């Protein structure tokens, strides 16, 4: 059975241009990312060294920089792009990513997409 350790980043909020309506193209809105990333933490636990783990600060900074500069119409597209960055640049074998757009629907607290990519 594969190891089931995970590194989490929860509630990462970034302001970006997101949406399909003309008014949305002219403002910045908040999106929220929640990531669950498969990562075997045993080596890092043994060495107590950042070099042996998934650097969640580096992942967060990379995603913040990307999302701030992006201009997608759909959160689906933004979620796919963020997942690809984490999988390819940080060599994460599997992730679950929730991309939320709070306040996108009047009367709702949140709308979101939840994707899983990679292999367990």
Active site residues: 101
- Taking the C-alpha atoms of residue 5 and residue 62, their distance in angstroms, rounded to an integer, is 22
The closest alpha carbon to 63, from 89, 41, 44, belongs to: 89
- Taking the C-alpha atoms of residue 35 and residue 5, their distance in angstroms, rounded to an integer, is 13
∠16-90-34 over CA atoms, to 5°? Answer: 45
Those residues with Cβ within 8 angstroms of residue 50's Cβ, 6 or more apart along the chain or in another chain: 44
DSSP 8-state symbol, 116: E
């Amino acid at each position: 059975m594969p190891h089931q350790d995970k590194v989490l980043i929860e509630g990462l909020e970034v302001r970006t241009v997101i949406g399909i309506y003309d008014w949305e193209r002219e403002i910045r809105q908040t999106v929220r990312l929640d990531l669950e990333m498969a990562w075997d933490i045993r080596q890092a636990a043994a060495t107590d060294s950042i070099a042996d783990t998934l650097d969640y600060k580096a992942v967060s900074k990379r995603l913040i920089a990307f999302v701030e500069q992006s201009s997608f119409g759909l959160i689906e597209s933004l979620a796919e792009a963020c997942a690809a960055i984490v999988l390819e640049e940080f060599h994460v074998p599997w992730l679950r990513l929730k991309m939320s757009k709070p306040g996108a629907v009047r009367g709702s607290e949140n709308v979101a997409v939840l994707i899983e990519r990679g292999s367990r």
